[in-house]
Amino acid sequence: MTLEVVSRSRDGRARAGVLHTPHGSIPTPVFMPVGTQASVKTVSPDELEALGAKIILGNTYHLYLRPGHDLIERGGGLHRFMSWNRATLTDSGGYQVFSLGPLRKITERGVQFRSHIDGSKHLFTPERVMEIQMAIGADIAMCFDECAPYPCDHEYARESAAMTARWAERCLAAHDGGRQALFGIVQGSVYADLRRKSAADMVSLGFPGYGIGGLSVGEPKDVMYAMLDETIPCLPEDKPRYLMGVGSPDALLEGVARGIDMFDCVLPTRIARNGTVFTRKGRIIVRDAAYAEDFRPLDPGCDCYACQNFTRAYIRHLLKAGEVLGIRLTSIHNLRHLVRMMEEMRESIIDGSFDEYRKETWRVWYNN
């Protein structure tokens, strides 16, 4: 897997590129919709293609528990199982098992946890997680890491990042290095020295791409941006950088400005199911009574299926009436909004106007 950088912003930090994968070439920067359980919630594969998604993410923890990585393997791997012919990435399950709180126990060996579905006991080790991700068969797998909580003291964060580095070595040893690319993950909480150390550890192992984890877990956004400023210069220029679990429009803009190539987040589909949609002027809650007789599209000018065919009034009615089509339409719209934003940022990097694009986008958000 290689990242071909095709253009840069004036300050050289933001970059437009192409990520070559066994399932197609992906223009970067790119936003990856999340298909936790082998389905991007409410949206079909043909709709994902139509809205411009080039790569989607599956969650290893969820797929391992249900339907099981072995079943997916027998079904021909994730792409074939879910009928998605473009690229895929699976996370390591680290974030999910650490989120289980009292249901899990961390040791050097790995993480013991209980299923949120039936309470059954399981063990994730770096080796086991590699086995699971290889069976699922995404184009990109992620190393098993510990996502430290926020806040977290320097001592804990240091030891956690060190263990993540040791686990990364075990992941590399356990991974078959076939068509699936394995990315390392930089941790280090909100400590600049630990972020730099973690990045150096990962780079010394020589991965084809690097995730930046443990951010957007509760810390202020300027702290997240400061951590990116510390981490990114430590990563190689010719490898993709993936800011994990981040997907608010402002963070996409600021992440790209700092040199991030890939993002994923459940935010667009999660808020969609609550009736909130992105517009160029900021979010609106289309469930609100204010939109009951608003016969305009969710975002005038948007080219998605929802905006090309339906009004706020109709979509609000569907949401109020509990009709599934309502959350389908808001989900499609929100995903298209982020995918188009990435396309626009990429174009602006290529044509030299990224700084203006960034300034103008912030200006419109502030004035509305």
Residues involved in catalysis: 91, 264
Using CB under 8 A, which of 4, 10, 49, 66 touches its own copies?
A: 66
Q: Using CA atoms, how far apart are residues 333 and 164, in angstroms rounded to an integer? A: 37
Using CB under 8 A, which of 59, 96, 125, 311 touches its own copies?
A: 311
* Closer residue to its own copies (CB): 190 or 307: 307
Span interacting with its own copies, options 31-39, 189-197, 211-219, 359-367, rule CB under 8 A: 31-39
Interaction of residue 327 with its own copies, rule CB under 8 A: yes
Using CB under 8 A, which of 73, 169, 229, 323 touches its own copies?
A: 323
Interaction of residue 317 with its own copies, rule CB under 8 A: yes
Span interacting with its own copies, options 100-108, 157-165, 189-197, 289-297, rule CB under 8 A: 289-297
- Applying CB under 8 A, what is the total number of residues that bind its own copies? 38
Scanning residues 81 to 100, which ones bind its own copies (CB under 8 A)?
A: 81-83
Angle at 181 between CA 68 and CA 251, to 5 degrees: 90
Dihedral, 246, 251, 253, 255 alpha carbons, nearest 10: -70
Using CB under 8 A, which of 120, 177, 324, 366 touches its own copies?
A: 324
Residue with tokens 């991030």: 260
Residue whose C-alpha is closest to residue 330's, from 266, 249, 272:
272
Interaction of residue 278 with its own copies, rule CB under 8 A: no
* Closer residue to its own copies (CB): 81 or 98: 81
Interaction of residue 45 with its own copies, rule CB under 8 A: yes
Minimum distance between the CB of residue 225 and its own copies, rounded to whole angstroms? 35
Minimum distance between the CB of residue 56 and its own copies, rounded to whole angstroms? 13
**Widest CA span of the chain, in angstroms?**
60
| Beta bridge partners of residue 184, listed in sequence order | 210
Using CB under 8 A, which of 150, 225, 305, 365 touches its own copies?
A: 305
Three-state secondary structure of 198-253:
HHHHHHHHCCCCEEECCCCCCCCHHHHHHHHHHHHHHCCCCCCEEECCCCCHHHHH
Q: Using CA atoms, how far apart are residues 63 and 352, in angstroms rounded to an integer? A: 42
Dihedral, 203, 86, 21, 57 alpha carbons, nearest 10: 10
Span interacting with its own copies, options 10-18, 78-86, 160-168, 202-210, rule CB under 8 A: 78-86
Span interacting with its own copies, options 40-48, 167-175, 242-250, 340-348, rule CB under 8 A: 40-48
Residue-wise DSSP of 95-159: HHHHTTGGGEEE-SS-EEEE-TTT--EEEE-HHHHHHHHHHHT-SEEE-------SS--HHHHHH
Scanning residues 179 to 208, which ones bind its own copies (CB under 8 A)?
A: none
Interaction of residue 296 with its own copies, rule CB under 8 A: no
* Closer residue to its own copies (CB): 323 or 355: 323
Tally of CB atoms within 10 A around 350: 15
Is residue 75 within 8 A of residue 81, CB to CB? The reply is: yes
Span interacting with its own copies, options 170-178, 246-254, 318-326, 341-349, rule CB under 8 A: 318-326
Residue at 226: amino acid letter: A
Residue with tokens 């002027």: 281
* Closer residue to its own copies (CB): 296 or 359: 296
Which residues bind to its own copies, rule: CB under 8 A? Answer: 37-39, 41-46, 62, 66-67, 71, 74-76, 81-83, 292-293, 295, 305, 309-311, 313-314, 317-318, 320-321, 323-328
